[in-house]
């Protein structure tokens, strides 16, 4: 699946810009990225949302454990990949029919919370259980919501094209050809919202999600980690490297 959005919708992440400028590499325009996706994923379905963005998906090479789907309702567009373990219970909660699949559930739950201020639409993520990644765009408010499950079972990447668009896709090689080193795995257990302050963690929205520049030989230019995970990792390193005191023989 592929979602590409212009600067009118998404503020280009400074961390991805820094990763790309550190090691300059070839990029292409967003239109070329979409065209390449359509050509390489036959049969593919694509939707252009005016000058704001482009969504595309295909069932080609689809994993049976990570089906892809698309739906649109009331100017809300959503690409979904994966499976929700608690789909049945959530259908009942939102009063949906048994035929409603994961992508429709996400749209309906987003819409319910959007219209029920002051609850942010992202609060629905705490109730989703399973392996998933999705890209949702609300044209009526120009709001973008992108999320990856806490275990990161469904691959998702994001990057910046040559003309400054931000792209999200489940195919690393596809984005690599258009985003160069301005590319990173989308962090698991996190969501991106252009109206709620950018990149945040599901469980701890107040924790900062920090970018770590990758080594030169890495395909992606950066990796994003939640701040508490980084601190825990650094503490482990510190403990591992604490020198032991030696006893002096007399």
- Give the torsion sign (CA, 172, 177, 178, 179): positive
Exposed/middle/buried for residue 121 (C-beta within 10 Å: 0-12, 13-18, 19+)? buried
DSSP 107: H
112-to-29, 78, 87, 180 alpha-carbon distances in Å: 36, 15, 16, 38
Percent of the chain with pLDDT over 90: 66
Contact 6, 53 (CB under 8 A): yes
pLDDT at residue 249 greater than cutoff 70: no
Spell 88-120 as b/e; 16+ CB within 10 A means b: eebbeeeebeeebbbbbbbbbbbbeebeeeeeb
Other CB atoms within 10 A of residue 124 CB? 22
Q: Is 147 helix (H, G, I), strand (E, B) or coil?
A: strand
How far apart (Å, rounded) are the C-alpha atoms in residues 50 and 27? 23
Query: What pLDDT, on the 0 to 100 scale, is given for residue 203?
Result: 81
71-to-47, 104, 113, 134, 145 alpha-carbon distances in Å: 11, 6, 18, 11, 15
The model's pLDDT over 177-198, given as tens digits with 9 standing for 90+, comes to: 999 999 999 999 999 999 988 9
Q: Which domains does the chain have, with CATH numbers?
A: 2-240 (3.60.20.10)
Query: What pLDDT, on the 0 to 100 scale, is given for residue 202?
Result: 86
Query: Which range scores top for mean pLDDT: 83-87, 195-199, 245-249?
Result: 83-87
| Reported confidence tier of residue 38, pLDDT bands at 50, 70, 90 | very high
State in Å, rounded, how far the first CA of the chain is from the last one: 70
How far apart (Å, rounded) are the C-alpha atoms in residues 53 and 30? 10
């Amino acid at each position: 699946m592929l979602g590409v959005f212009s600067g009118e919708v998404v503020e280009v992440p400074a961390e991805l810009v820094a990763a790309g400028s550190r090691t300059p590499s070839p990029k292409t325009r967003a239109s070329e990225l979409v065209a390449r996706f359509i050509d390489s994923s036959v049969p593919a379905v694509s939707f252009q949302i005016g000058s704001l963005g482009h969504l595309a998906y295909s069932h080609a090479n689809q994993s049976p454990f990570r089906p892809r789907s698309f739906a649109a309702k009331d100017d809300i567009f959503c690409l979904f990949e994966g499976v929700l373990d608690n789909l049945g219970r959530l259908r009942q909660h939102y009063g949906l029919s048994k035929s409603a699949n994961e992508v429709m559930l996400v749209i309906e739950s987003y819409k319910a919370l959007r219209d029920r201020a002051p609850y942010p639409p992202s609060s629905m993520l705490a109730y989703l259980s399973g392996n998933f990644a999705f890209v949702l765009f609300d044209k009526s408010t120009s709001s973008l919501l992108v999320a990856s499950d806490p275990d990161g079972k469904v691959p998702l990447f994001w990057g910046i094209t040559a003309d400054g668009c931000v792209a999200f896709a489940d195919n690393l090689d596809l984005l690599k050809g258009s985003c160069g080193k301005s590319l990173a795995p989308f962090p698991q257990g996190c969501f991106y919202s252009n109206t709620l302050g950018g990149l945040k963690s599901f469980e701890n929205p107040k924790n900062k999600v920090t970018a770590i520049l990758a080594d030169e030989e890495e395909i992606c230019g950066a990796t994003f980690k939640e701040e508490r995970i980084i601190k825990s990792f650094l503490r482990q390193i510190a403990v591992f490297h604490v020198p032991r005191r030696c006893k002096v023989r007399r």
